[in-house]
Amino acid sequence: MITSTPINPSDLRLVITGGARGIGGAVARELAGLGARVLITDVLPAEGTALADSLGSGVRYADLDVTDPAAWQRVLDEAQTFLGGVNALFNNAGVVLWGSTTGTELADFRRTIDINLYGVFLGMHTTAPLIKAAGGGVIVNVSSTAGLQGYAGITAYVASKWAVRGMTKAAALDLAADNIRVMSLHPGPIRTPMTAGLGDETAAAQPIGRFGEVDEVARMVRFMMLEATYSTGSEFIVDGGAVTGQVLPLPES
């Protein structure tokens, strides 16, 4: 059964994938700032170590390519020791490799699915037993507005993010009896290195008229992890209205 008690931030024992920068980095800052112990993982040791060092002795960095099952086992062993158990996973590592349905390189399609979907699966597969052993906890899988609608020019990315959204619901049902909530996060365009190539026209096309900031996403993740005690399998959207609808020109009268 899922308990109704909010998690105290200082009780959080959190593993973050892709946490050296961007949204993952902001979540590390937000939750470590509230007293959580955090293991930041990524494939960017210089950035990850610098971030962890800046957040104090309760935060550490470890290398983790999310597509590597052996690396997951190694890192979770370290997490168990350093954090004193694991009760939360921010399954965030991801890539966007541009390509339309006919224009996508086959290797890029496979790589996208490998990191964005298989990596998220491996995270749940390896971490959920530890969270269960800790008495329960929470998993947040990072999907996207691209997991709620289509976008031209990023076929593999859209496929991976819809799959994460669906897999989240299956996992939520599997893990509810272990007191583990599993939710998907759906950011719209957020200012990070991933969106560095997108310009002002993308911002102008959003109902809110701007990119989101990583801290705005991190505050949503804080709520999901600590307070959303009656939510599992659910979609949490932080997108400036991107999936709300389109603003169409009105007919001339």
Place of tokens 């007919």: 251
Asked if 92 touches ligand NAD (CB under 6 A), the answer is: yes
Nearest distance from C-beta of residue 190 to ligand NAD, angstroms: 4
CA 23 centroid distance within chain: 8
Asked if 97 touches ligand NAD (CB under 6 A), the answer is: no
Asked if residues 43 and 55 have their Cβ atoms less than 8 Å apart, the reply is no
Helix, strand, or coil here: 252? coil
CA dihedral (118, 164, 247, 101) in degrees, to 10, reads 40
Asked if 144 touches ligand NAD (CB under 6 A), the answer is: yes
For ligand NAD, what does the binding mask look like between residues 181 and 200, x meaning CB under 6 A?
------x-xx-xxxx-----
Asked if 20 touches ligand NAD (CB under 6 A), the answer is: yes
CA 12 centroid distance within chain: 16
Q: Which two tokens stand for residue 126?
A: 């390896």
Question: How many CA atoms within 13 Å lie on the side-chain side of 129?
Answer: 7
Asked if 30 touches ligand NAD (CB under 6 A), the answer is: no
Nearest distance from C-beta of residue 3 to ligand NAD, angstroms: 28
Nearest distance from C-beta of residue 187 to ligand NAD, angstroms: 4
Asked if 95 touches ligand NAD (CB under 6 A), the answer is: yes
With contacts defined by CB under 6 A, how many residues of the chain interact with ligand NAD? 28
Cite the beta strand spans of the chain per DSSP E: 13-16, 37-42, 59-63, 88-91, 137-142, 180-187, 235-238
Judged by CB under 6 A, the stretch of 16-24, 53-61, 100-108, 227-235 that binds ligand NAD is 16-24
Positions marked active-site: 157
Question: Which residues contribute to the site for ligand NAD (CB under 6 A)?
Answer: 17-18, 20-24, 42-44, 64-67, 92-95, 115, 142, 144, 187, 189-190, 192-195
